[in-house]
Structure 1
Amino acid sequence: MPVGLIALALGGFGIGLTEFVIAGLLPDVAADFGVSEASAGWFISGYALAVVVGALGLTAAVTRLERKPVLAGLLVLFIAGNLLSATAADYWPMMLGRVIAALAHGAFFGIGAVVAAGMVPPSKKAGAIALMFTGLTAANVLGVPFGTLLGQAAGWRATFWAITVIGVAALAGILALVPRQAGAAEAGGSLRSELGAFRSGQVWLSIVVTVLGFGGMFGAFTYIAYTLTEVSGFAASTVPWLLIVFGVGLFAGNTLGGKAADRNLDRTLLVVLAVLAVVLVAFALVAANPVLTVISLVLMGGFGFATVPGLQMRVMKYAPGAPTLASGANIGAFNVGNALGAWLGGVTITAGFGYTSPIWAGAVITVAGVAVMAFAAAAAKRSETRVDAPAEAPDEAAAEAAGVVRV
């Protein structure tokens, strides 16, 4: 295993913690700033939308630059945003801090995924991407629960101070462990060639699947603290421990999903997304039962994150000559899904449908993702068949000319 993958995972840990820890602290932050649940939810939706801007705008701006210094610069931006969040005295400074930190998110994971895939043989690319995203899952298994505990014990600002320190450590790790040559952009690469990747219909279909597939899980996750306390009957003090359970599912799903995607990419995505939709429906139905809720959390995390390496690998597969911007765009798509799920969940709660309604909304979004993925897989198979057919035609013609009859 290249040691540089550990450094990328370390950066992913800090960034993942920033993205997800707010869900466990959302009631505390909302109470501190005196805003509604839906308004506080914009700390998640606003972050996700800013990730999209960073994933496209920053990635496009740095596409010809050496990747290691770019990754380091992105972490500096990430540190600055979390420092502002930790010191925010009001709603809007906090939102600004979230946006600044988010700008680094998409470009870091987009460029990092290309670097990770370039460190290993082709047969292990999805696994390498999964390893980089292990930092993201570790943030959920360990960082989010303990960050929530820290926030409940010492105030939510303490959590963002801790994230700032982690960001500094991640920056040191990138500088020390990622070899400079691993950060070198391909010779002759340009923004025009990177933009050329978006002429592929499969790239766009992959991005849509990412939005819908990940948005479904995140719609359920955004308001999970309210679901656990108001529907399942858990005490607020148990939420961090329940997030550990959710994180265990994320870790297992990310690892196994990467291995499965290396074997059969489209089939893995179809099966995992379909099962995720079933899990979300089941969760919405049994959320009042504490035991079944815990089981549902594990399954939701597992099948939700089992899609991540495959979704990222798919968009890179169909943009082989210009993967950087396509990879960054797909990271943005993950966060469009985050924003979509969080927004739709907030709408259903505000409409009075209760705290299981975001889970139902997530199930609907995921079903749409399954439909698009089925269409994309069928289209890819037809395209591969058309490409293979001409190669057989000359042999057939030659056989007929020689008087050979094939049966």
Structure 2
Amino acid sequence: MPFAVHVLGLAVFAQGTSEFMLSGLLSGIAGDLHVPLGAAGLLTSAFAVGMVVGAPLTALACRSWPRRGALLFFLGVFVAVHVVGALTPGYGVLLATRVVGALANAGFWAVALVTALALAGPHRRARATAVVVGGVTLACVVGVPAGAALGELWGWRSAFWAVALVSLPAAIALLVAVPGGTPGDVPTVSARSELRALARPRLLLTLLVMAFVQGATFCTFSYLEPLVTRVTGLGAGWVPVVLALFGVGSFAGVTLAGRLADARPAAVVGIGMTALAAGWAALALTAAHPAAALALVLLQGALAFGTGTTLITRVFRLAPDAPTMAGSFATAAFNVGAAAGPWLGGLALGAGLGFRAPVWVSALLMCAALAAAGLPALSSRALSAARSDAGAPTE
């Protein structure tokens, strides 16, 4: 695997840390800026919305830019808004930096994915995707707990400074490792042609499946703390351990998927989605048993990110004539799920259905993903039956 692909993963690690670290900093932000906790929570929602909207818009805006220039620009903006966020005394400015940071992150993701695939070559697409997505899983394992620890020691602003500082070595490495121009094996097509390619029903269905899978993942992930402390019966000190377990599983999942999905992508997606649906249901049923809950958190992290990585690769396979926009739509679908899943889990909790309810919502979302994934086969069988009936002799 080219060194530049690993550099892209390092940059994604820094940005992934920023995306998820606020979960451990909300109380400090609310107290320091004198805003309600709910207002502090909107900082996370603003980032997710910025990612969804920003992915296709930034990809359109930078279609003609050299890849290295685009990556450095987006990473530079990302660093700048974190410096501003660390210095600002006002909530409004901080909220604006989260939106702008999300737009920069979305643009970086869109360019990074297509760059990684071009550098790795057609036979290592899944492995290249796994390296880039692996940056997010490492952020869950290392970056987010480290950000929370910094927040406890020196305040929430120190976590913002840390993200900016970690991004600087990535920027230097990108400058050295990533080729300066657009790879010659990527065809130049119009934006209209790319958007037309992305309107294919099978591709849109894959994006919908991605959103369901990620919605299921982040629905439970967002509410692991109350599940662990109030259902499993473990103390609050176990929460970082459980989150780290999920992150370790995620890293293992993307690594394994990267090795398997290039050869058998359909099997990885099919088995992974089925196991995820069963696993979320099993976690809901056995959450009161610590050993079972811990094992399932590890397993579900691996399945969720392994399946998600393979689905991203499938988007590029289904849209070879949309080289710059495919990654942006995959990023948007990922973040639609990341925003919708916690919202649905919150509705279930608000309805008084108990602390296992978000896990059951995850299981239902996976059932929806399986149903959506099965639509092409169902449509094909229905079409074959109709043709057979049309050609059958009448009595």
| TM-score, with structure 1 as normaliser | 0.86
Counterpart-to-counterpart distance in 1, 2:244 and 2:349? 25
Residue-by-residue CA offset, 1:230-271 (whole Å, 9 max, x unaligned)? 433444344333322111101011111222221222232121
Deviation at 1:131, TM superposition (A): 1.3
- 1:197 to 2:197 alignment: yes
Counterpart-to-counterpart distance in 1, 2:152 and 2:371? 41
> Which residue pairs with 2:360 in the alignment?
360
Cα distance, 1:27–1:275 mapped onto 2, change above 3 Å: farther
Counterpart-to-counterpart distance in 1, 2:24 and 2:295? 19
Cα distance, 1:35–1:196 mapped onto 2, change above 3 Å: same
- Give secondary structure in 1 for the equivalent of 2:325: helix
Q: Which amino acid aligns with 1:129?
A: T
RMSD: 2.5
Counterpart-to-counterpart distance in 2, 1:362 and 1:127? 27
Q: How does 1:193-342 map to 2 (within 5 A)?
A: 193-342=193-342
> Which residue pairs with 1:392 in the alignment?
none
- 1:372 to 2:363 alignment: no
Deviation at 1:183, TM superposition (A): 5.3
Deviation at 1:381, TM superposition (A): 10
Deviation at 1:190, TM superposition (A): 2.4
Cα distance, 1:296–1:23 mapped onto 2, change above 3 Å: farther
Counterpart-to-counterpart distance in 2, 1:95 and 1:232? 35
- 1:131 to 2:160 alignment: no
Residue-by-residue CA offset, 1:43-86 (whole Å, 9 max, x unaligned)? 33321111011101110111122111001111112113323443
> Which residue pairs with 1:122 in the alignment?
122
Deviation at 1:214, TM superposition (A): 1.0
Cα distance, 1:160–1:202 mapped onto 2, change above 3 Å: same
Q: Which amino acid aligns with 1:148?
A: A
Unaligned runs of 5+ in 2: 385-395
Cα distance, 1:190–1:94 mapped onto 2, change above 3 Å: same
> Which residue pairs with 1:35 in the alignment?
36
Residue-by-residue CA offset, 1:202-227 (whole Å, 9 max, x unaligned)? 11111101111111101111232333
Cα distance, 1:73–1:283 mapped onto 2, change above 3 Å: same
Deviation at 1:90, TM superposition (A): 5.0
Q: Which amino acid aligns with 2:281?
A: V
Q: How does 1:58-97 map to 2 (within 5 A)?
A: 58-89=58-89, 91-97=91-97
How many residues are aligned here? 383
Q: Which amino acid aligns with 2:284?
A: A
Counterpart-to-counterpart distance in 2, 1:83 and 1:184? 36
Q: Which amino acid aligns with 1:71?
A: L
Counterpart-to-counterpart distance in 1, 2:314 and 2:382? 17
User: Contact between 1:213 and 1:337, CA under 8 Å: does it hold in 2?
Assistant: yes
Q: Which amino acid aligns with 1:274?
A: T
Q: Which amino acid aligns with 2:295?
A: I
User: Contact between 1:206 and 1:376, CA under 8 Å: does it hold in 2?
Assistant: no
- Give secondary structure in 2 for the equivalent of 1:179: coil
User: Contact between 1:228 and 1:239, CA under 8 Å: does it hold in 2?
Assistant: yes
Cα distance, 1:377–1:162 mapped onto 2, change above 3 Å: farther
Q: Which amino acid aligns with 2:353?
A: F
Cα distance, 1:354–1:67 mapped onto 2, change above 3 Å: same
Q: Which amino acid aligns with 1:10?
A: L
Cα distance, 1:236–1:212 mapped onto 2, change above 3 Å: same
Cα distance, 1:141–1:240 mapped onto 2, change above 3 Å: same
Cα distance, 1:350–1:158 mapped onto 2, change above 3 Å: farther
Q: Which amino acid aligns with 2:272?
A: V
Residue-by-residue CA offset, 1:245-300 (whole Å, 9 max, x unaligned)? 11110101111122222122223212111111221122222333333222122112
- Give secondary structure in 1 for the equivalent of 2:294: helix
Counterpart-to-counterpart distance in 2, 1:61 and 1:172? 24
Cα distance, 1:183–1:75 mapped onto 2, change above 3 Å: farther
User: Contact between 1:197 and 1:323, CA under 8 Å: does it hold in 2?
Assistant: no
> Which residue pairs with 2:22 in the alignment?
22
Deviates further, 89-98 or 292-301? 89-98
Unaligned runs of 5+ in 1: 386-407
User: Contact between 1:8 and 1:112, CA under 8 Å: does it hold in 2?
Assistant: yes
- Give secondary structure in 1 for the equivalent of 2:198: helix
> Which residue pairs with 1:149 in the alignment?
149
Cα distance, 1:342–1:371 mapped onto 2, change above 3 Å: same
Q: How does 1:379-398 map to 2 (within 5 A)?
A: none
Counterpart-to-counterpart distance in 2, 1:249 and 1:233? 22
Cα distance, 1:190–1:372 mapped onto 2, change above 3 Å: same
Counterpart-to-counterpart distance in 1, 2:227 and 2:199? 42
> Which residue pairs with 2:390 in the alignment?
none
Deviates further, 331-340 or 369-378? 369-378
Q: Which amino acid aligns with 2:61?
A: A
Deviates further, 163-172 or 185-194? 185-194
Q: How does 1:166-181 map to 2 (within 5 A)?
A: 166-181=166-181
Counterpart-to-counterpart distance in 2, 1:24 and 1:53? 25
Deviates further, 282-291 or 8-17? 282-291
Counterpart-to-counterpart distance in 1, 2:30 and 2:227? 16
Cα distance, 1:195–1:212 mapped onto 2, change above 3 Å: same
Counterpart-to-counterpart distance in 2, 1:245 and 1:269? 22
| TM-score, with structure 2 as normaliser | 0.88
Deviates further, 41-50 or 225-234? 225-234
Counterpart-to-counterpart distance in 2, 1:128 and 1:267? 19
Counterpart-to-counterpart distance in 1, 2:203 and 2:80? 33
> Which residue pairs with 1:163 in the alignment?
163
